[in-house]
Amino acid sequence: MLGVIGVGAIGAAIVSGLSGSGEPPEILLSPRNAELAAKLAASHPNVRVADSNQAVIEQSTVVLLCLRPSDARQVMRELKFQEQKSLISVMAGVRLSVLRELAGPAQDIARAIPLPSVAVRRGVTPLYPATDSAHGLFGCLGRVIEVADETAFDLYSTSTATIAAHFTYLNRISGWLTAHGISPSAAQEYVAAMFGEVATSLQGSDPDFRELMQEYATPGGTNELFCKVLSDEGIWEAVDAGLDRVRQRLGY
């Protein structure tokens, strides 16, 4: 039995991915975010909702911790963990030493960084440490990256803070088209199609971003010009600065 404490977007993606597999596991959800938990239970016959967080722990072999990091300490201190339980945390910024303190006497604990693509079992999930439970779970949802140490794991975690900025970038391009007379729906459809098609270039185990950039940035062409403007405006340095700020905020 897999238990899930904290049913948000990532927790729901994991549940959906596992439930769509050939032999879906039994999954027990915490009552937090009752509406989403009920929706998942109604959609998948292998999923049900527990009466409490403690019930999830007591009835599950593996417990997935999907709480908001700001809620982790308060919620986990109210729970009693057993030594034989296997825990997997997807909470950014909550280090392994803290998890072991909050979940004692349980010691079989892993950290994971699942992406939304786990919902369709195309995830690439860093794990530290790569415990049997974590590897088994996320191996069903795509590929896993066995990270050597927690410092490297935290760098992967920091990089995920860029996802909203990516969509902000696409929204900005779409907004520019709209401001110049293109209908909002047509602008969004075109930008989504353009970047959705480009994203297919990233399929595979070893994409070369620099090579892809050079393929599109024809010397003297418009892509090269646009990149130069962003470079002159210091956008790339701002990306580095933003990642550094996120890393500092997470305490890494």
Residue spans per domain, the chain: 2-147, 161-249
pLDDT at 63 over 70: yes
Confidence of residue 202 (pLDDT cuts 50, 70, 90): confident
The pLDDT-based confidence of 21 (bands split at 50, 70, 90) is confident
pLDDT of residue 223: 97
Q: Considering the domain 161-249, what is its CATH architecture?
A: Orthogonal Bundle (1.10)
Find out whether 89 and 110 touch, Cβ atoms under 8 Å.
Answer: yes
* Whole-structure pTM value: 0.89
Is residue 205 predicted with pLDDT exceeding 70? no
Structure tokens at 210: 């620099």
> Which residues, in sequence order, are CB contacts of 2 under 8 Å at separation 6+?
18, 25, 26, 27, 28, 60, 61, 62, 63, 64, 137
Residue 197 to residues 201, 210, 214, Cα–Cα distance (Å): 8, 18, 17
- β-strand 27-29 against 62-65: which pairing, if any? unpaired
Q: What is the mean pLDDT of the chain?
A: 95
**Which is nearest to 85 in space by CA: 73, 74, 99, 72?**
99
What confidence tens digit (pLDDT) does each residue in 26-42 have?
Answer: 999 999 889 999 999 99
Label residue 100 by pLDDT band (50, 70, 90): very high
Distance, C-alpha 108 to centroid of its chain: 21
Cβ 4 vs Cβ 27: under 8 Å: yes
For the chain, the residue count is 252
Homologous superfamily of 2-147 = NAD(P)-binding Rossmann-like Domain (3.40.50.720)
Read off the amino acid at residue 15: V
